[in-house]
Structure 1
């Protein structure tokens, strides 16, 4: 809903500009004003072509023609008022103005067509992203969850980072990963990984078996140089979190306002490379109690650089912005990340934060403001 409103806000200034090209008309009026003050006759007439040229960048073809015709009428008026010595001079200036107007109108029509094509492509990309990266609700099982994803290809709004979180008979399970490469091949690989994960998460009681199914699928479908780094985690519901790290950046655990990276006990290769290394991932079990938080992310976050080529300090940012509401924390981290890089990311970036809300102690029996059980009179 909010995205639709945002697109609506993007369109109405263009419609207003196409119907009433205010700025080009003001420029033409200013040039006429200077000519009238200086009494220079034909001197300012060639500059009137800036009106339709500027209108081509903001208006539709009709607005460009309006400005061009206005500039032509004013150029004739200025030429007659200035007493042009040679009528051919005025005719040449007028012809040049009309040619510029027609060229700018054509340019405006082509620009509008490209914008419509781009809008259609973006709508298809958004639909593909929603199908690939399905929206995650704010509450899944015992967790509060927040996700923020930004594709480096801002116009496409889709990239090679992946995430998913599902509630299964074996507890809540999730994956955050990063596909090697960019573009449509990376999107296809991400779709493959997510499809296998969602299926295996519901079928396999063992988290390592889920990872093994993803590995087998990638081994059949990927090239020898392709791979996917990923963290697969599960919460069986007994106060413990299972983590399998396959060559991915370590998640960040927040406990008692202290941020600690969850380094794997035994490093494992990325998904798709097990046959080359012969190593298998290990299951890491962490205590995860009420109030704990876990942030999973992709390397587009930690490898983002500012103008001084300094990496974004994610752990420090998480320590600054941690609160009991995951959506506020993730939004603050994302905004700080964009400020760090100057507003434009150069790689896909994903943030997924989950936490178990701290339990609020029940009020003591008989405390003020609490209802007392009714007693039966003897």
Structure 2
């Protein structure tokens, strides 16, 4: 029963942690592959002052620079981004928007998590075709195939406008972004605001785990050229706060399970000591030292932890695989545009920490029963069963 208690506690901890880990990975990858990329390149100061003076922080179109960065380890794609804002008009409705000019071909590889809910994505075959965030489209009352007018302030201080065609509607992980955003081919964006460069470059890496090492390499190689390299985790404020919240929740679950294991194992071993009082008195009477009695009960607690932890790991991996195969339907959380199907992701580090927790808690739980057993008076212990 003690082994089962430990196993159930550890498997519950791993399943809860695995569920949260999968959600964090889903949020991380969706954020990277819909909005940010793994690393963004800006002119120094753009993030602080770029909103007030966007045309002062333009990066020149430099094919050689793009090729040099693309040749860096782990970098798979580099694509320009040009940010702008203005007014979108359709019929009698006019709303403000935040826009991004992107390369249609490269963006197809980068924005894998950008979901086209209706119509089609950007295409080089439609130089004046745009895609609109689902929330913004609903507020304007537009659908794929409709024509609308974009009005923006140009770099020269005038007002420029263009009639565009809505190719499709999109949704990302962030509902607030979908309510105000649209994307256009970067050639159209440059024509609208009358510039030739871009505000940033978005980099796609082979693996998200290589972000830090790639960032260090790029800063060493290109940092002196007047570029600022910003990793995705410095830009994903919503994700960072969500990850902090989830990590605290896991810590609370870990504490609760540790307390349950300590109480259950301590109670089991205490009952064991009481039932074996005569036996303890007998072995001490024939010369077994108190230290050996103490060691024996500590060893029993350790074995319970090792066996229960191993069983808990096996249960967690088995149940995790079954649950992941079935899927966990999730409604759209606050701030997201759509629901999704979650899974269980148990990582090696999580399994090691849970197994270590099982061993430590059972060992701690066995301390008081072991001390009680080793301090018994031999005569009273021998009388116990009479």
Same fold by TM-score greater than 0.5: no
- Tell me the TM-score normalised to structure 1 length: 0.24
* TM-score after normalising by structure 2: 0.23
**Greater RCO, CA 8 A, separation 6+:** 2
